[in-house]
Amino acid sequence: MSEATEATRFEPKESVAGQPFWDGSREGRFLVPWCTSCGEPHWFPREACPHCLSTEIEWREAAGTGTVYAVSVMPKPGNPMMAGREPYAVALVELTEGVRMMSEVVGGDPWTVAVGDPVTLGWEPLSDGRQLPVWQRAGDA
Amino acid sequence: MPHHPLRGAAAIVGVADDVSPTGMIEGTNRAIEARVIRAALDDAGLTLADVDGVFCNMGPGWAPSMELAEYLGIQARYTDSTTTGGSSFEIHVEHAAAAIALGLCEVAVIVYASTPRSDRKLRGGGGYRSRQTMGVTPTAEWELPYGLRMPMGAYALAASRHMAEYGTTSEQLAQIAVSTREWATMNPRARYQDPITIDEVLASPMQATPLHLLDCCLVTDGAGAVVMTSAERARDLAKPPVLVLGVGTCHTHNMISEMPDLTTTGAAVSGPKAFGIADVKPSEVDVAQLYDSFTITVLLLLEGLGFCPKGEGGAFVADGALGPGGSLPANTTGGGLSYTHPGQFGIFLLVEAVKQLRGECGPRQVEGADVAVAHGSGGVLSAMSTVVLGTEATR
């Protein structure tokens, strides 16, 4: 658990649907919503399953592994909170569970991050104890 | 008297509402919307998979029907965010009936949810913008923390995927900017009128890999307007009529992270639909106006609309096919890349398509143009709409 600090990123408000994810992040648990009615996971978190409209949503811990589906390196910050971090690699990461999320591939040379790279989950602490999921390639620091 | 073509052409087949004597109902606005939509579909004996038309007049962000459709996982062929306050939903029925009558969609959902009493009693106000209802957009919660430069970053992600899957190169994307600029050299109102080279595109500053500055549209002022009437009345007016031969729409997502396949846009649905209604083949198009927010946008649209097979957009544009004298004259104003781009370029696509079909384009006129396509792309490759236009000769 991290101490409350200054925000160093845009720190999102929690939606009602997303709150279980953020709660899990405080304990380092990487949770993904699954519909117990049709058996499909989905991302982003919703109150109703986008496959069948069931509201029977169960949060399951995900493996924390995935591959880079698409990537773009930002030579300039995308918002003022990212100033000083550039260049950095924003990626769409396809989780082993099959859902895709936007994130950042951190810890290595951003210019070499490529589509298809395998990545594993890391956490970046936010100022309020929540953690933001980021991803790392094997071998990167 | 023959009946009006709308008479009896569409029906309401399922309904539901959710109210309580407490004056309050449970859930966020989105949760309530999902609940009543499911109940209305159950009432009709239909499922979410049947729905292809979405009508919604309010939401947390800028695009109510697109946000709702993304939330529900619907890829909408008909979309309507018309908002007129309390009469919005009757107007939605009117629009849905016309859309269904014309075959633009088959199953339309119209929805409304609002919780002002709960907002006030339980949440201290805030209404639609409060967290408890819908105030946190998915974009703010799941994308903004990562600092993707917008809008170019979203398109850059698509370009990265297209390059990885199909071997598309930066040189091929650059050729789109080069060909478009060739048209701009013949347009005295274009923002940039000097020719450029592939090397100059590649040497321009990187904005978000793999897109360079000259892969990106301008930021300019601009305005446009279009007037429509019946084909019959059009005959007696001042200019030769340009007929709307076919139309098609599809939105697949709102946020780039929710785009089902980053190399396939909704143009793959809207294009065949519009061409089908028009009874025109892509090979019969004389001039194309294809939304060029970025070079990759044009490449994806060429593939989606069927001007070339999927994955072959790079090879298709490489020999200057889109430029003057090419096999598919495209963005003959100079496009969003060189002519103008005030943020939403779609109106200019229609204006130029009409001028080309009237033969009013001077040095950049495509000789004998009878069939034109204007294809708009909204959001981040999110909402696609194709319009096929023709001269009287195509009637």
Beta-carbon separation of B73 and A17 below 8 A: no
Residue B163: what are its φ and ψ, rounded to 5°? -65, -45
> CA-based angle B273:B93:B29, to the nearest 5?
100
Contacts of A117 in chain B (CB under 8 A): none
Nearest CA-CA partner of B52 in B272, B245, B248? B248
B207 contacts A48? CB cut-off 8 A: no
Determine the pLDDT at residue B136.
85
Tell me if B144 and A101 make a contact (CB, 8 A cut-off).
no
pLDDT at B121: 84
Best A49, A67, A102 residue to mutate vs chain B (most B CBs within 10 Å) = A102
Nearest of B166, B40, B208 to residue B108 by alpha carbon: B40
From B27, B31, B142, residue closest to A44, measured CB to CB: B142
pLDDT of residue A5: 76
Please state, in angstroms and rounded to a whole number, the distance separating the CA atoms of residues B145 and A90. 10
Q: Which residues of A touch B146 (CB under 8 A)?
A: 78, 90, 102-104
Q: Which of A6-10, A20-24, A42-46, B269-273 has the lowest mean pLDDT?
A: A6-10
| Catalytic pick among B71, B78, B155, B339 | B339
Interchain contact, B142 vs A18, CB within 8 Å = yes
pLDDT digits (tens, 9 = 90+) for B13-29: 999 999 999 999 999 89
Query: Between 3.30.750.24, 3.40.50.2300, 2.10.70.10, 3.40.47.10, what CATH number should domain B152-394 receive?
Result: 3.40.47.10
A49-104: pLDDT as tens digits = 999 999 999 999 999 999 999 999 999 999 999 999 999 999 999 999 999 999 99
DSSP SS3 for A119: strand
Could you say which of A10, A50, A79 has the minimum Cβ distance to residue B73?
Answer: A50
- The burial of B377, by beta-carbon neighbours within 10 Å (0-12 exposed, 13-18 middle, 19 or more buried), is given as buried
- Using DSSP, state whether A101 is helix, strand or coil: strand
Neighbours of A129 (CB within 10 A): 15
Q: Are the beta carbons of B74 and B260 closer than 8 angstroms?
A: no
Tokens (6 digits) for B205: 């500053």
CB proximity list for B243: less than 8 A, separation 6 or greater: B231, B234, B389, B390, B391, B392, B394, B395
Which residues of A are less than 8 Å from B163 in CB distance? 115
| Closest residue of chain A to B163, computed from CA coordinates | A115
Whether A4 shows a pLDDT value over 90: the answer reads no
Residues found in chain B: 395
Residues with pLDDT less than 50, chain B = 128-129, 131-133
The boundaries of every CATH 2.40.50 domain in chain A are 63-141
The CA–CA distances, whole Å, from B113 to A60, B34, B128, B285, B336 equal: 30, 10, 10, 44, 38
Chain B residues in contact with A100 by the CB 8 A cut-off are 257
Residue B369, SS3? coil
Q: What is the CATH number of domain A63-141?
A: 2.40.50
pLDDT per residue as tens digits for the range A109-125: 999 999 999 999 999 99
Q: Hey, how many other C-beta atoms are within 10 angstroms of the C-beta on B162? A: 27
The closest of B158, B162, B160 to B312, measured between CA atoms, is B162
CA–CA separation, B265 and B65 (whole Å): 18
**Structure tokens given for B162:** 């297209």
User: Does residue B211 come out as left (phi exceeding 0), alpha (psi in the -120 to 50 range) or beta?
Assistant: beta
- Comparing CB atoms, the residue among B47, B149, B205 nearest residue A78 is B149
- Active site annotation includes B146: no
Q: In chain B, what are the domain boundaries?
A: 29-136, 152-394
The CATH class of B29-136 is alpha beta
Among the partner-chain residues B31, B136, B158, the one whose CB lies closest to the CB of A48 is B31
Pick from B209, B253, B255, B296 the residue to mutate for testing the A interface (most A CBs within 10 Å).
Answer: B209
The reported pLDDT for the residue numbered B78 is 96
CA B270 to chain centre: 9
Distance CA B10, CA A128 (A): 53
Q: Which of B152, B198, B156 is nearest to B177 (CA)?
A: B198
Q: Closest residue of B to A112, CA-based?
A: B209
Q: With a threshold of 0.90, tell me whether the complex ipTM lies above it.
A: yes
Q: Is the dihedral of CA B47, B83, B245, B235 positive or negative?
A: positive
Separation CA B162–CA B144 (nearest Å): 24
Helices (H), chain A: 19-26
* Cβ-based contacts of B156 with chain A (< 8 Å): 72
